[in-house]
Chain A
Amino acid sequence: MTRYFTEDHEWIEVDGDTATVGITQYAQSQLGDIVFAEVPAAGATLKKGGDAAVVESVKAASDVYAPVSGTVIEGNDALEGDPALVNSDPEGEGWFFKLTLSDSSELDSLMDAAAYQAFVDGL
């Protein structure tokens, strides 16, 4: 399994032609206390860079974009009852959705962990 990152602070863990998507530790620290998350329904078609989910802190709503195109397999229902999972475990239990990739070549433009760390350090 390989984990990639976007400049919009999403992570995507790829396993064959399926992948899990969430927001990074850096993103959750910037957003602060998460009070609501809206994840896409199974079957939804996502386009790379398009709106995929919404995450809301006390202060503001933010969009989560699809790092790659694909079809949603599952949204993380646990976030409905416990949105703070995004704060406590953003790169684990606080995942947003799983999808089937429609074009794995889209992964080529994403960052690996080291490149993302360098990107964050430069912010």
Chain B
Amino acid sequence: MSEEDEFELEPIEILELPLDAWHRDKGARMVEFAGYHMPIQYEGIMAEHIWTRENAGLFDVSHMGQLMLTGDGAAEALEALVPGDISALKEGKMRYSLLLAEDGGVLDDMMITAAPMGLYVVVNGAVKWDDMGYLREYLPDEITINNMEDRALLALQGPKAVDALKRVVPGVDALYFMEAGSFFWGPKTDPEPLWISRSGYTGEDGFEISVPATHAKALADQLCAQPEVKPIGLGARDSLRLEAGLPLYGHDMNPELEPVEANAAFAISKRRRAEGGFAGSDRILEALANGPARKLVGLSVEGKMPVREGAPIFVGEAQVGVITSGGFGPSVGAPIAMGYVDAAHNAVGTMLAAEVRGKRVSITVANLPFIPHHYHRKGANT
């Protein structure tokens, strides 16, 4: 017996989410994603996508990590690893932020909310274990990291999400975009507190609901009983976010790229720009000042043939970039993509070519998002 044999790895088990049986009952086709069995589609990606843009779609995103950071100075400590102004976050407000490696590379993107107990952080499912390890290593021991594995996460997205949800959970319509709070749901004699934010990943108005896993099925059933709501799979989640110009971690962002290259300079708060002092801040602030060597941009595609992740981007014979997300945009009615393009060729309107199966396809650098966002912003005219 050789030494290697003793260390042979067991096959990695694909895990089940709290709503696994619920998805199968609803006719979902399940696929493996981020280590879990997840619904890719129910009736079809195109129909589910359009339904969400016009009504409300219910997404099970329980694979994502829900972390609670507690302890004195948690916000200040976290600021060493993210470029946002976390210590200025008022209770009930949230920010989009990025977990940074020591060299400024993006380890994950995340939502950070100032909750009454501490900082509520939602991270990507595929890298949540790495994130927790990294946070544990770099945060002081006084800061506790609680992985709330006993909670499911549901997203209700679309222009009618507010109408459906306020019927089930009174009062949620008081939230504006990027605000969150605790709301009671269920019988008055035995109500269940839910943590709800007005946020999402589709470009539409909508909510994300953290619910105890034991109650996830009852909540999903009650939401789907509303006439505006249908369950929506990961396939439409991907096409919706691509139309909204929102990056997918592991595809449009990775540890080799810093936030300015990743078109996420908006996540670097004003005070942090002035003060620096976060992981990789020298490299990141240099990219902010002088412009990054390459940048994530939107790309419109001529014709009907989609260009997919991995397709090289050319000007003449010179490769100047690569596609990182690409597919068909059901609401756009045409193929769309995002990719990294060198600084000399990434101005909006620049004509480029992507290579697909040995053929060149004309693409043009486009403004993001492809479909305007419809967020319920405070102070906006609605």
Contacts and interface: CB of A to CB of B under 8 A. Distances in A.
Contacts of A33: 44-47, 330
B357 interface: yes
Given A32-B235, A36-B328, A57 B45 contact: yes
B193 to A, nearest CB: 37
Nearest to A35: B328
A57 B46 CA distance: 10
Contacts of A58: 45-46, 49, 235, 239, 327-328, 330
B45 to A, nearest CB: 4
A35 B235 contact: no
A85 to B, nearest CB: 14
Given A58-B235, A58-B327, A32 B304 contact: no
A67 interface: no
B348 interface: no
Interface in B286-340: 304-306, 308, 327-328, 330, 335
B235 A38 contact: no
B48 to A, nearest CB: 10
A32 B305 contact: no
A54 interface: yes
B258 interface: no
A56 B49 CA distance: 17
A115 interface: no
B305 A36 contact: yes
A120 interface: no
Given A32-B45, A36-B328, A61 B306 contact: yes
A83 interface: yes
B327 A38 contact: no
A56 B330 CA distance: 13
Contacts of A32: 41, 44-46, 235
Contacts of A56: 305-306, 328
Interface string A24-43: 00000000110110100000
B238 interface: yes
A55 to B, nearest CB: 11
A63 to B, nearest CB: 10
A65 to B, nearest CB: 15
Given A35-B306, A36-B328, A59-B238, A54 B357 contact: yes
Nearest to B359: A38
B306 A36 contact: yes
Interface string B210-241: 00000000000000000000000001001100
A6 to B, nearest CB: 21
Interface string A67-96: 000000000000010010000000000000
Contacts of B239: 58
A62 B49 CA distance: 21
B251 to A, nearest CB: 13
Interface in B3-46: 40-41, 44-46
A62 B304 CA distance: 15
Interface in B265-298: none
A60 B40 CA distance: 12
Contact of B327 (A54, A59, A80, A83): A59
Contacts of A54: 357
Nearest to A59: B235
Interface in B47-91: 47, 49
A38 B44 CA distance: 22
Nearest to B334: A35
Contacts of A83: 304
B71 to A, nearest CB: 42
Nearest to A30: B29
A118 to B, nearest CB: 22
27 contacts: A32-B44, A32-B45, A32-B235, A33-B45, A33-B46, A33-B47, A35-B335, A36-B306, A36-B328, A36-B335, A38-B305, A54-B357, A56-B305, A56-B306, A57-B45, A58-B45, A58-B46, A58-B49, A58-B327, A58-B328, A59-B45, A59-B327, A60-B308, A61-B306, A61-B308, A80-B304, A83-B304
Q: Which 5 A-B pairs have the closest CB atoms?
A: A33-B46, A35-B328, A58-B45, A58-B328, A36-B304
Given A56-B328, A58-B328, 10 more contacts: A32-B45, A36-B306, A36-B335, A56-B305, A56-B306, A58-B46, A58-B235, A58-B327, A59-B238, A59-B327
